[in-house]
Amino acid sequence: MEKHKVKRQRLDRMLEGIRPPIMNGPMHPRPLVALLDGRDCTVEMPILKDVATVAFCDAQSTQEIHEKVLNEAVGALMYHTITLTREDLEKFKALRIIVRIGSGFDNIDIKSAGDLGIAVCNVPAASVEEIADSTMCHILNLYRRTTWLHQALREGTRVQSVEQIRDIASGAARIRGETLGIIGLGRVGQALALRAKAFGFNVIFYDPYLSDGIERALGLQRVSTLQDLLFHSDCVSLHCNLNEHNHHLINDFTIKQMRQGAFLVNTARGGLVDEKALAQALKEGRIRGAALDVHESEPFSFSQGPLKDAPNLICTPHAAWYSEQASIEMREEAAREIRRAITGRIPDSLKNCVNKDYLTAATHWAGMDPTVVHPELNGAAYRYPPGVVGVAPAGMPAAVEGIVPSAVQLSHSLSTVAHPPHTPSPGQTVKPESDRDHTGDQL
């Protein structure tokens, strides 16, 4: 009999914080979760509405974020269009978790976040197919000169004779038998390799962090150094995370190690390529053509920067990740990660915490217990200067009409804490990840 009591007690403890008993009296307060650099919360709210108040900031920097969010938000969702340095993170007084809607997290100082007791998560499986498809599209475009042929017709050029075709399509090449070199064989790198093989490419890759044997499973050839890959590749495609060790991985020195007239494609991170060196190589013909979806300075403009006069260049606005399906899937997963943080224990309950090693050891992690509730502001805007959006009748936010908070609230065991002051760190240190998801290189 005593044994059964112990089991019952353990079961009760497991359920605590996940499905608490319904008690009489006022509802328990809920956490405030903010979408920092966007305004559409319609995907996230159905997942979070019964456990959190969701607001949006539509900010491009922390200077545009309302004081209420800085003081009270315990959770934050963000895309790639806002950057959080240590100085930015210290402005948040109650923040416990940040979820990057996408897989790249180089716009967050994850070490400083850990020092401040803030867990940082990402969505590593986001847009794998979209980025691989977009990369393959860029590669095909470079080889078959589709963009340049289209532009010629749009500009009114009469293309009739073989000589005219030869002139406009100069540089077009046969794909079968060419060697594609992939730097970083994460999820996207592997997806691209499978697509490239179907088109007849010989595929080689360089990835110093990948375990042995993957190349055998995929039927690829592995090279041991970056120099080997550059020397043997007719086209080089980047699919690695950006960190302090690989900034300007493609520079004047490494470009000179590439084959004369090779192609370059980057759908990972803009900081991987020295754009000044690339522009010079394109002008000199050392690189036959390049396609970039990401840039050192974003949003990208042809009218500014070193690439404005570079020939044989295709640029897209950091959109290789996007499809309607992928956008919804990554937002849903990001919201579920926030929900896991609220209803479970941080970081144990989190699925994709990227800074677990940096989290302060002395911090006691448990479920969140926020002290302020703003049910009437679900889906409202917190932007500086103060300007909360209007609330529809019956307390419903106009932007999310039809979404009603649940009557039953979850209780939590951890009070909101203020972060202690820290001295600014000189820079972010990113430890190579064992999983090294290269899919978010792009998002």
Do residues 298 and 417 both lie within one domain? no
User: Among the options 100, 269, 340, 383, which is catalytic?
Assistant: 269
pLDDT of residue 430 exceeding 90: no
CATH number at residue 239: 3.40.50.720
- Choosing from 315, 350, 379, the residue where a domain stops is 315
pLDDT digits (tens, 9 = 90+) for 113-151: 999 999 999 999 989 999 999 999 999 999 999 999 999
- The reported pTM is 0.76
Do residues 186 and 116 both lie within one domain? no
pLDDT digits (tens, 9 = 90+) for 256-282: 999 999 999 999 999 999 999 999 999
User: Given this model, what pLDDT does residue 368 score?
Assistant: 56
List CB contacts of 8: < 8 A, sequence separation 6 or more.
none
User: Given this model, what pLDDT does residue 6 score?
Assistant: 45
Catalytic residue status for 10: no
User: Given this model, what pLDDT does residue 379 score?
Assistant: 55
The reply to whether 13 falls in a domain is no
**Alpha-carbon dihedral sign for residues 264, 266, 267, 268:** positive
The reply to whether 80 falls in a domain is yes
The reply to whether 387 falls in a domain is yes
The reply to whether 1 falls in a domain is no
Do residues 66 and 142 both lie within one domain? no
Mean pLDDT of the chain: 83
Do residues 95 and 237 both lie within one domain? no
Do residues 198 and 224 both lie within one domain? yes
Average pLDDT of the residues in 297-306: 92
Buried b (16+ CB within 10 A) or exposed e, 142-156: bbbbebbbeebeeee
User: Given this model, what pLDDT does residue 369 score?
Assistant: 53
Average pLDDT of the residues in 46-64: 96
Do residues 307 and 236 both lie within one domain? yes
User: Given this model, what pLDDT does residue 3 score?
Assistant: 52
Q: Which amino acid is at 359?
A: L
- Choosing from 262, 290, 315, the residue where a domain stops is 315
Average pLDDT of the residues in 347-351: 94
Residues shown for the chain? 443
Do residues 206 and 295 both lie within one domain? yes
The reply to whether 5 falls in a domain is no
Average pLDDT of the residues in 26-31: 60
Catalytic residue status for 318: yes
Do residues 118 and 180 both lie within one domain? no
Q: State the DSSP H helix or E strand holding residue 193, giving kind and residue range, or none if neither.
A: helix 187-198
Do residues 205 and 352 both lie within one domain? no
Boundaries of domain holding 54: 24-126+324-441
pLDDT of residue 429 exceeding 50: no
pLDDT of residue 23 exceeding 70: no
Do residues 179 and 280 both lie within one domain? yes
User: Among the options 138, 318, 419, 438, which is catalytic?
Assistant: 318
Cis check: omega of the bond before 299, within 30 degrees of 0: yes
pLDDT digits (tens, 9 = 90+) for 69-78: 999 999 999 9
The C-alpha atoms of residue 66 and residue 390 are separated, in whole angstroms, by: 16
The reply to whether 378 falls in a domain is yes
User: Among the options 298, 364, 401, 422, which is catalytic?
Assistant: 298
The reply to whether 10 falls in a domain is no
- Choosing from 278, 297, 315, the residue where a domain stops is 315
Q: For the chain, what is the domain count?
A: 2
Do residues 406 and 277 both lie within one domain? no
List CB contacts of 160: < 8 A, sequence separation 6 or more.
none
pLDDT of residue 414 exceeding 70: no
User: Given this model, what pLDDT does residue 14 score?
Assistant: 35
Do residues 184 and 302 both lie within one domain? yes
pLDDT digits (tens, 9 = 90+) for 384-394: 444 333 333 34
pLDDT digits (tens, 9 = 90+) for 208-257: 999 999 999 999 999 999 999 999 999 999 999 998 899 999 999 999 99
